[in-house]
Structure 1
Amino acid sequence: MVLMLAGCSSQTTEPAAPESTTDSTSTDTEQTSNEETVKVGILHSLSGTMAISEVSLRDAELMAIEEINAAGGVLGKQIEPVVEDGASDWPTFAEKAKKLLEQDQVATVFGGWTSASRKAMLPVFEQ
């Protein structure tokens, strides 16, 4: 899925920087930050029994994001990864998926290496 994003990267010049004002608020800063980045969740087991096979997945996804960002990002926006640890515990996967969606407000989530983790997260994504 990450490699599909590479095909969407823009070869055009960077968009013009927003005009700065002297009385900008923190809300303006947050909005500008959100407009310049696309948050994506990375949810793998980084601890526990499944970490041995899933840490490398996280590393590969972070490397791909770094390469995409170095090439200009996606449609001129940088990808901002938000990494969470499913801890090889299926209920934890559901909790972390919910956090990524509701609190971190990511656009997508990469992860779910095992069928058990996908099964745990599915109800969260279906809501």
Structure 2
Amino acid sequence: MTQEVRPYDVLVMGGSGFLGQKLVQQLAQKKRRVLVSTRKAGALKPAFAALNNVHVHQIREYDTSTLDTLLSQADAVINLVSIHREERRSRIDLPPARRGDFEEVHIEIPRRMIHSAVKIGG
């Protein structure tokens, strides 16, 4: 049985923050092929310009089809997506589609990641 060779060793989701940048630099120094997904690609590309084995991917949102595509390109994923302040506050009495930013980022995105990983055989 042959194993599929994916273009990247690691997908770092939300790699534009302090921890993400440090982690990506460490991975690159260890010769890992890294795909970084972020909403701030323009600001992040100069930080990784000298790292040949790092690719920065601009993302609008972590919907199901985007996650399917991203996760299928890497052997492992590290999720660093987080929020600094909540624009839409959570209310437990609302249906999931109308809950706040915290729930979207820290519950729904990881849930979608798991479903995508299962779907692609991860």
TM-score band by shorter chain is 0.3 to 0.5
- When the two structures are superposed, what TM-score results if normalisation uses the length of structure 2? 0.39
- Where relative contact order (Cα < 8 A, 6+ residues apart) is larger, the structure is 1
